[in-house]
Structure 1
Amino acid sequence: MNKYQEILKQYWGYDSFRDLQEEIITSIGERKDTLGLMPTGGGKSITFQVPALAQEGICIVITPLIALMKDQVQNLRKRGIKALAIYSGMSRQEILTALENCIFGNYKFLYISPERLDTEIFRIKLRSMKVSMITVDESHCISQWGYDFRPAYLKIAEIRDLLPGVPVLALTATATPEVVKDIQSRLNFREENVFRMSFERKNLAYIVRKTDNKTGELLHILRRIEGSAIIYVRNRRRTKEITELLMNENITADFYHAGLDNAVKDIRQKRWQNGEVRVMVATNAFGMGIDKPDVRIVIHLDLPDSPEAYFQEAGRAGRDGEKAYAVILYAKSDKTTLHKRIADTFPEKEYILNVYEHLQYYYQMAMGDGFQCVREFNLEEFCRKFKYFPVPVDSALKILTQAGYLEYTDEQDNSSRIFFTIRRDELYKLHEMGKEAEALIQAILRSYTGVFTDYAYISEESLAVRTGLTRQQIYAILVTLTKRRIVDYIPHKKTPYIIYTRERMELHDVHIPISVYEDRKVRYEARIKAMEEYVTTDNICRSRMLLRYFGEKNEHSCKQCDVCLSHHADNHLSETSFEELKRQILFILNKKKLTPADIANQVETEKEDIGEVIQYLLEEGVLKIEDGMIYISK
Structure 2
Amino acid sequence: MSIHEILQQYWRYPHFRPLQEEVINHVLEGNDTLALMPTGGGKSICFQVPALAKEGICIVVTPLIALMKDQVENLRSKGIEAVAIFAGMSKREVDICLDNCVYGKIKFLYLSPERLMSELVRERIRYMKVNLFAVDEAHCISQWGYDFRPPYLHLAELRDLHAEVPFLALTATATEKVILDIQEKLLFKAKPDGSRAVFVKSFVRDNLAYMALEEEHKTRRLVNIIRNTGGSGIVYVRNRKETQEIARFLIAAGISANFYHAGLSTPERAKKQEAWKKNELQVMVATNAFGMGIDKADVRFVVHLDIPDTLEAYYQEAGRAGRDEKKSYAVLLYNEADKSRLQKNFELSFPTVKEIVQIYYHLGNYFQLAYGAGQYLSFDFDLGDFCNRYQLEPLKTISALKFLERDEWLVVSENVYIPSRLRFDVNSQDLYSFQVAHANLDGFIKTILRAYGGAFDYFVPFRESDLAKKANLPISEVTKRLEELQRYQIITYLPQTDKPQLQFLQARSDSQHLNINRQHIESRKAIGEEQLKAVLNYLKGDGCRSQKLLYYFGEKNSKHCEICDYCLRSNKKTKQEELEDKLIIEINNLLAIEPLRLDELVERLQNGNEKERITLIRNLVDTGKIKFINEKYGV
TM-score higher than 0.5: yes
Query: Distance in 2 between the 1:72 and 1:420 partners?
Result: 28
Bigger mean CA offset, 210-219 vs 260-269 = 260-269
Aligned equivalent of 2:122? 123
Alignment of 1:214-363 (within 5 A): 214-362=218-366
CA distance in 2, matches of 1:533, 1:93: 51
Identity within the alignment, %: 46
How many Å separate the matches in 1 of 2:106 and 2:481? 40
Please give the secondary structure, in 2, of the residue aligned with 1:328: strand
1:282-324 CA-partner distances (Å, limit 9, x unpaired) = 1111111111111111111111100000000000111111111
What code does the residue aligned with 2:563 have? Q
Q: Cα offset for 1:470? A: 12
- 2:50 corresponds to which residue? 51
Question: Which residue of structure 2 lines up, in the alignment, with residue 207 of structure 1?
Answer: 211
Counterpart contact for 2:550–2:558, Cα < 8 Å: no
Q: Please say which of residues 325-334 and 494-503 is displaced more in the overlay.
A: 494-503
Q: Which secondary structure does the structure 2 equivalent of 1:493 belong to?
A: coil
- Deviation, 1:387, is 2.3
Please say if residues 419 and 487 of structure 1, whose CA atoms lie closer than 8 Å, have aligned partners that are also in contact.
Answer: no
Amino acid of the structure 2 residue aligned with 1:553: K
The answer for the alignment partner of 2:25 in structure 1 is 26
Structure 2 Cα separation of the partners of residues 364 and 280 of structure 1 = 40
Does structure 1 retain, via aligned residues, the 8 Å contact 2:345–2:395?
Answer: no
Matches within 5 A, 1:44-193: 44-92=43-91, 94-191=93-190, 192-193=196-197
Per the alignment, residue 546 of structure 1 pairs with 549
Partner of 2:524: 520
Larger Rg: 2
Decide which moves more: 245-254 or 203-212.
245-254
Q: Which residue of 2 aligns with 1:567?
A: 570
Map 1:356-435 onto structure 2 (within 5 A).
356-362=360-366, 371-372=375-376, 374=378, 377-411=381-415, 413-416=417-420
SS at match of 2:533: helix
Q: CA separation of 1:156/1:567 partners in 2, compared to 1, >3 Å: closer, same or farther?
A: same
The one-letter code sitting in structure 2 at the alignment partner of 1:571 is: T
Aligned residue for 2:325, secondary structure, equals coil
Amino acid at match of 2:565: D
Distance 2:158 2:238 in 1: 36
Contact 1:318 1:324 in 2 (8 A): yes
Quick check: 1:142–1:153 contact (8 Å CA) kept in 2? yes
String of CA shifts for 1:450-492, please: whole Å, max 9, x gaps. Answer: 9xxxxx966443x655664699x86433355589x67677742
- Mapped pair 1:448 → 2:455: yes
2:477 is aligned to 477
Change (3 A) 1:206 1:469: farther
Alignment correspondent of 2:38: 39
Structure 1 pair 378–21 and aligned structure 2 pair: CA distance change class (3 A): closer
Deviation per CA, 1:536-565: give whole Å up to 9, x if none.
Answer: x11200000000011112341000001100
Query: Alignment length, in residue pairs?
Result: 565
Give the Cα separation in 1 of the matches to 2:381 and 2:77. Answer: 39
CA distance in 2, matches of 1:55, 1:288: 28
Q: Note the C-alpha offset of 1:508.
A: 4.7
Residues 415 and 457 in structure 1, CA contact (< 8 A), matched pair in contact too: no
1:94–1:211 distance in 2 versus 1, CA, 3 Å? same
Return the offset for 1:365. 5.4
Query: How far has the Cα of 1:569 moved from its partner?
Result: 0.6
Aligned AA for 1:271? Answer: A
What aligned pairs does 1:551-630 form with structure 2 within 5 A after superposition?
A: 551-572=554-575
Bigger mean CA offset, 387-396 vs 563-572: 387-396
- The residue aligned with 1:581 is none
Contact 1:420 1:487 in 2 (8 A): no
Instruction: Report the residue type matching 2:276 in the other structure.
Output: W
Could you say what secondary structure the match of 1:171 adopts?
Answer: strand
Structure 2 CA distance for partners of 1:440 and 1:250, relative to 1, 3 Å:
farther
Q: Which secondary structure state, in structure 2, belongs to the residue aligned with residue 448 of structure 1?
A: helix
Q: Distance in 2 between matches of 1:121 and 1:206?
A: 48
In 2: Cα distance, 1:562 partner to 1:206 partner? 7
Cα distance in 1 for partners of 2:74, 2:414 equals: 28
| Closer/same/farther in 2, CA of residues 491 and 233 from structure 1, 3 Å limit | same
Q: Note the C-alpha offset of 1:497.
A: 4.7
Q: TM-score, normalising length from structure 2?
A: 0.80
Q: Offset at 1:43?
A: 1.9
The structure-2 alpha-carbon separation of the partners of 1:503 and 1:96, relative to structure 1 and needing over 3 Å to count, comes to: closer
Change (3 A) 1:65 1:17: same
Deviates more, 1:246-255 or 1:192-201: 246-255
Name structure 1 gaps, 5 residues minimum: 451-455, 576-634
Partner-residue secondary structure (3-state), 1:517: helix
CA contact (8 A) 1:136 1:169 kept: yes
Q: Secondary structure at the match of 1:319?
A: coil
Shift of 1:359: 3.6
* Deviation for aligned residue 1:112: 2.5
Following superposition, the deviation at residue 31 of structure 1 comes to 0.8
Q: How well do the aligned residues superpose, as a CA RMSD in angstroms?
A: 3.4
Query: Residues 405 and 92 (structure 1 numbering): CA distance in 2 closer, same or farther, change over 3 Å?
Result: closer
Letter in 1 for 2:102: I
Q: Give the direction of change, closer, same or farther, for the CA distance of 1:554–1:366 in structure 2 (3 Å limit).
A: same
TM (norm. structure 1) is 0.80
Deviation by residue 1:135-173 (Cα, 9 ceiling, x = unmatched)? 111111111211111122223212221111100010100
Report what 2:632 is aligned to.
none
